[in-house]
Structure 1
Amino acid sequence: MFQLFLKMFTICVILSCFVICHCDGYELTLISDEQWPQPYYMHYDAATHSLYFTDYAARQILRFDFHKKRTYRATIEDNIITSFIIPVQGEKNKFAICYNFTVAIIEWNGKEKIAKFDQDEFTVQPAQNNPVTGWDYGKMSPNYEFYGGSFRVNMCSKSPGTRNAAFYHYTRPIYKHLRVSGAFDWDVKNKYLYLCDTCGRVIRQFKWDPKTGNIYDERIVYTLENPESDLVMPHGMTIDRDGCLYIAYYSGGKVVKVDPRTSKKVKEFYLPVKGVSLITFGGPHWDTLFVATQRVPFELSTGKLYLDNSEGSGSIYAIKNIKAKGYPSRKYRSIIRND
């Protein structure tokens, strides 16, 4: 199927720079003809019709302005590298980012080439035998509290002592013994939390208590079985308003829609490159699925980087006509109040 898609992709690229393909009822387009080394976390801002994202390898934060069809990029003071960027609620030009195991606030007007450090919010103390982990992913819950996942530098390596990453509610680990805590999202109606256990190649479902932040009643709702390569693992994930999950197959070249109630695949969305990383809903009606791909992806089994020279790698794609809508992106609420 992937080889057939590549042939269709080649034909479509000749016809257009941005419309890649009309495939199986959905439309695949590029948001831009730019390619980035390692685009990662994405946050769609409806007010400005912008897509904020990070480039881990380039140590940059970026904003793609859909009105102007232009990308703005900046580095953070002290050469801070962050895996996520989340606009701060009620504070113009303020964003939550991370470095090491700290969540902090920066100031950026979305255009300047340097973002200024503002303040630290909180810091997690990792396990004593786990000195080289960091934040992999962060997101706000439906009641606007911070949750985040960590990763090991050697990622999915099975060497002793590597199951030390965790899933956090602020500074409190609420699910431990992971190698890479991937993306996560909430079924708002039924109060479920879904967590992508990347190295375990499973999606875990929990009941979620919004009052305490606790998760319980764990159940595996999806397992990635018989991958075509040991490099293929689930990493990015989001949810639509009907409760279906969208799972990005890292190094697998596709996004899979899954109904967690039945654990069955509903649909597969193929991309012309293998290095699919993270995904998010966006667009004026929250019915577009944005998909980040990487030109310099990780080999998750070892944590090493490699170069993907395939055409279209490092691009951000938009999947349209998916006949579903996601939830609006939630902004960060600071836990520190300045006088």
Structure 2
Amino acid sequence: MYKSIIFFSCLITLILASKWVQKYSIKSVPTPDLNIADSPIWEAETQSVYFTDLFGTKMYHYSNCENKMYSVDFHPYSTPCFIFPVLNKRNLYGVGCNQSIFTIKWDGKSRHVKNLQKIFSVESNTNHLVNHAVADTLGNFFVGTFDANTCGTQDSHGLYKYSKNGKVKLIAKHFKVTTGLAFDPKVKTLLHLDGCTQTITEFSWCPKTGDLSNERVFMKLNFPKHMLPVGIAIGCTRYIYVSVYKGSVVLKINRKSKKIVDKIKLPSPYLTAPVFGGPYNNILFVTSSTVSNDILTGLPEFRNTTSPNGHLFKIIGLNDSSPPLYKPDLTKKNHCGTKCTDLSSSSSSSSS
């Protein structure tokens, strides 16, 4: 089933790309009360983008059909790092926060989330945070970590695999930071982005077990040290897209030649991550920030709420797309014993 979906989605994109050369256009959607947007994902069932506020308490839901933004607070916790739909469970999401992954129930619009449950934790008793995640076609969940000092830390941070049998496996622990993860079933690889060393690392993925092996450097970027490559998306036409925080651009990288073939300029310097979405998965959504952070210390320098900083951008007309989102299986009942609770919170909505 997955192979058929991937084939036809990519085939449509390749046909369009071969017939038309179309200049892309850029639109944006305001995001209220945002600090640093992080880890956007596209959920086809709701035709929506979900993302979090890394240095705040909010999680956001942008309905592409309604052109409307919703948000909800993740109290009593702060720094939600990602929100990810769970396999075969409507309105159930995995949320990364501090060193743990929780599940919550949220309809994307209500004023509170329900049924908070802790699923697993990594690097406990540290100041590290889980921050980027990706799932494979088998329901495995891969999660990376970082800490608030960003590139100034002396610590090493890990990449982990959570299997549907409830086991957590350390894949590697030598990264400065995980600023992006992307899974490519077509060539059976997982890409890891370390924005501090500006290195994209490639792992081979086993379709029978979901295990990663044969770690190697895919390519090195070379931007000034005050810039941070963050977020990574893979298109069907074999291009890779990476946004650059404090760089105002999304890089388009040819996977075969490993060359940057385009720098898509956006009207905010504080770009945080790209993801494909839309009815045909051919719109590249890019999140952004209103906060300028010192990359070497992790400390905020200033907040710039001037529009369009903090907006969710849409890049339309790239003649590229991605396969559908793969979802993790986080329903195995071997959790940490945390009681289910309702989290009272407030939500906001706006339209543009």
TM-score, with normalisation over the residues of structure 1? 0.84
Rounded to whole Å, the distance in 2 between the matches of 1:313 and 1:217 is 39
1:183–1:237: 8 Å Cα contact kept in structure 2? yes
For residue 190 of structure 2, what is the aligned residue in structure 1? 193
Assess, with a 3 A threshold, how the Cα gap between structure 1 residues 63 and 34 changes in structure 2: closer, same or farther: same
Rounded to whole Å, the distance in 1 between the matches of 2:69 and 2:199 is 35
Rounded to whole Å, the distance in 1 between the matches of 2:294 and 2:131 is 15
- Report the secondary structure of 1:181's partner residue: coil
- Report the secondary structure of 1:156's partner residue: helix
Q: Deviations over 1:39-79 (max 9, x none)?
A: 21212122222211111223111111223222221112423
Rounded to whole Å, the distance in 2 between the matches of 1:261 and 1:218 is 18
For residue 59 of structure 2, what is the aligned residue in structure 1? 61
Deviation (angstroms), 1:269: 0.6
Deviation (angstroms), 1:104: 1.1
Rounded to whole Å, the distance in 2 between the matches of 1:249 and 1:206 is 23
Rounded to whole Å, the distance in 2 between the matches of 1:297 and 1:277 is 11
Assess, with a 3 A threshold, how the Cα gap between structure 1 residues 303 and 33 changes in structure 2: closer, same or farther: closer
Assess, with a 3 A threshold, how the Cα gap between structure 1 residues 254 and 35 changes in structure 2: closer, same or farther: farther
1:163 matched to 2:136? The reply is no
Q: What amino acid does structure 2 have at the position aligned with 1:242?
A: T
Rounded to whole Å, the distance in 2 between the matches of 1:66 and 1:332 is 23
Assess, with a 3 A threshold, how the Cα gap between structure 1 residues 33 and 43 changes in structure 2: closer, same or farther: closer
Assess, with a 3 A threshold, how the Cα gap between structure 1 residues 280 and 136 changes in structure 2: closer, same or farther: same
User: Please, which of 263, 267, 271 is the counterpart of residue 266 of structure 2?
Assistant: 271
1:135–1:148: 8 Å Cα contact kept in structure 2? yes
Q: Deviations over 1:227-258 (max 9, x none)?
A: 2x321121110101233210111211111111
Deviation (angstroms), 1:335: 4.0
For residue 318 of structure 1, what is the aligned residue in structure 2? 314
1:298 matched to 2:290? The reply is no
For residue 90 of structure 2, what is the aligned residue in structure 1? 92
Q: What amino acid does structure 2 have at the position aligned with 1:305?
A: P
Compare relative contact order (CA 8 Å, sep 6+) and give the higher one, 1 or 2: 2
1:276–1:294: 8 Å Cα contact kept in structure 2? yes
Rounded to whole Å, the distance in 1 between the matches of 2:120 and 2:127 is 18
Sequence identity, in percent? 25
Rounded to whole Å, the distance in 2 between the matches of 1:34 and 1:134 is 24
- Report the secondary structure of 1:71's partner residue: strand
1:53–1:61: 8 Å Cα contact kept in structure 2? yes
Q: What amino acid does structure 1 have at the position aligned with 2:129?
A: G
1:336 matched to 2:332? The reply is yes
Q: What amino acid does structure 1 have at the position aligned with 2:101?
A: V
Moved more, 180-189 or 319-328: 180-189
Deviation (angstroms), 1:80: 4.3
Deviation (angstroms), 1:150: 0.1
Unaligned 5+ runs, structure 2: 1-21, 163-167, 335-352
1:124 matched to 2:122? The reply is yes
Correspondences of 1:104-119 after superposition (within 5 Å): 104-119=102-117
> What is the aligned length?
307
Q: What amino acid does structure 2 have at the position aligned with 1:202?
A: T
- Runs (4+) of structure 1 moved beyond 6 Å? none
For residue 216 of structure 1, what is the aligned residue in structure 2? 213
1:256 matched to 2:248? The reply is no
1:76–1:116: 8 Å Cα contact kept in structure 2? no
TM-score, with normalisation over the residues of structure 2? 0.81
- Report the secondary structure of 1:96's partner residue: strand
Rounded to whole Å, the distance in 1 between the matches of 2:75 and 2:245 is 30
Assess, with a 3 A threshold, how the Cα gap between structure 1 residues 272 and 48 changes in structure 2: closer, same or farther: same
Rounded to whole Å, the distance in 1 between the matches of 2:155 and 2:211 is 21
